[in-house]
């Protein structure tokens, strides 16, 4: 199975709502990533988890809260978002070396299209 799945495909939420995005992979990868992508722009890295521990937070606002409950699952909890947070949110996974070095062949999910009203 070489697939990264993301749910939901589309999400519309108000600025006061709390919602979560889910990402799952069964490739045995121990590194997982969240990216934000605006239209016609490259993905921007938000968070990296390695062995279920947060290893990179790219100064993302606290209204985005990542969680990695186990090696196959990655969540992104959303609270009090702003309209400018509307974007495609991509999850990816890759192998991770034992010494913490990560081999960077990342496999991406199809994304969640988020609209904040």
Partner 1 sequence: AQTVTQSQPEMSVQEAETVTLSCTYDTSESDYYLFWYKQPPSRQMILVIRQEAYKQQNATENRFSVNFQKAAKSFSLKISDSQLGDAAMYFCAYSRTDSWGKLQFGAGTQVVVTP
Cα–Cα nearest to 32, from 74, 69, 66, 2: 74
Which of 31/81 has CB closer to partner 1?
31
For Cα atoms 23, 83, 35, give the angle at the middle one, nearest 5 degrees. Answer: 30
Task: Give the nearer residue to partner 1 in terms of CB position, either 16 or 53.
Answer: 53
Return the SS3 of 83: helix
Q: How far is the CB of 7 from partner 1 (least distance, A)?
A: 14
Looking at residue 85, the DSSP 8-state letter turns out to be G
Closest approach of Cβ 115 to partner 1, in Å?
A: 15
Would you say 18 or 38 has its CB closer to partner 1? 38
Using CB under 8 A, list all residues that contact partner 1: 31, 33, 40-43, 45, 48, 50, 55-56, 88, 90, 92, 94, 96, 100-102, 104-111
Nearest approach, Cβ of 56 to partner 1 (angstroms)?
5
């Amino acid at each position: 199975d070489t697939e990264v799945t993301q749910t939901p495909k589309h999400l519309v939420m108000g600025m006061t709502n709390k919602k979560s995005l889910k990402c799952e992979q069964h490739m045995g990868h121990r590194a997982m990533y969240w990216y934000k992508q605006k239209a016609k722009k490259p993905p921007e890295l938000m968070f990296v988890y390695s062995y279920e521990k947060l290893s990179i937070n790219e100064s993302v606002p606290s209204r985005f809260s990542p969680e990695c409950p186990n090696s196959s699952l990655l969540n992104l909890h959303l609270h009090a978002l702003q309209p400018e947070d509307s974007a495609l949110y991509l999850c990816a996974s890759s192998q991770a070396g034992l010494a913490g070095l990560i081999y960077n062949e990342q496999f991406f999910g199809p994304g969640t299209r988020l609209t904040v009203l």
